[in-house]
Structure 1
């Protein structure tokens, strides 16, 4: 399944400059104009900042995909701006490419240590600049897709395919954690086991498709009775387990109260 997802990444998402927004940060107007013209011609969306301080404000309100950052600027230089960007979890993922004069290349190591992914020397060559931008945007896009795929696989691994609630492994892991917390803080918690009466008869008489629908209906009914802090999962093919999470100040009989409210038999 994961391999199939990677194949879809390659076929369904061709690189399109129009989908990316690049922030140009340079205190020199002529440099900003030149860069914006090159990027606009290539199809990228652009925005700009005339100082490091303005750049830091801009990324707070705009979803930036890549930053072209001048190395030497007044007030806050490019290296300090890059460090601040990487220290903020909301902007740390944005790739930064430094723009530096040939005489400033001794600062390149400091730029990489600050978190830059690349640098281009001025006066730069347009094809080289565009290729470097494309490479790093493609890398960022691939990384983002892989992270999405990983999160999706985690959800699949923890979810019962039929009902959409937690599966056996997930609910046992959760139960172990809550039991450990209960032992540590000497607090009670409740566990309800819910069984559908005569479920085998439903399968034998009407078929497994109808039985599956009955299970889904049972889960939906139960979900309507729960709070956000409650946890439900499916243990076996014909059983569901409802884990009732209880805060430290709650009474230990809350699980029994829930069962009584919803006409469930407590064993």
Structure 2
């Protein structure tokens, strides 16, 4: 199956131009979703899944032709790829293992359309766990004094090998220089207590304050800490009977599922960024 994702300034005839291009090349559209932020001067978003025999050999020419005939005149951003080919992903983690191992497990079971090509950590604790999945593990220690050198090593390790970086509870703040240089989207996950309970011991402080909802947020990482476009969120209700330890356990469960959904949706081309927000098909 082919996957085409398009965004451009809205106007009449966009769908016609795109579908006519595919029809002339004998492509059969099997799924289509679209959204506009406004009919006049708004932004138009489209995701199409299509069947085309011999796609693998036709893909380069199809992409070139679409750019010249459709995207160019529309001044559109687009991505055209073979949806059957998993995207290449690097997972970053520290000492928490729940998100990292969950993504590796789901990938091994074929539940995520990704290929994990590298795990990077600032601690060596999870090396043996990752080795059990047959995925390369790289320990790159990091401190404030060595941050620039460590990020340079990370960039060198990833260059040309990945389509997405996932921060699976990586307890380091990525610099703006890293985010600009890595050249691929970065997805992060964090608990829902931000900004109220930032820093250490959020579940203990949440227990002290008697919170009734806990949750998680997956978003694209930007230079503005934890303020990138949101991909997915979820919550679970708790009561006064729940201990801080149980809060943390339930929080870990939500982080796993929310991050897995976000990664799956991104890999399937369902997430389109519109400024500070997202369109999810």
Do both share a fold (TM > 0.5)? no
Which one has the bigger strand percentage?
2
Rg bigger for which structure? 1
Determine which structure has greater relative contact order: mean sequence separation of CA pairs < 8 Å that are 6+ residues apart, divided by chain length.
2
Which one has the bigger helix percentage?
1
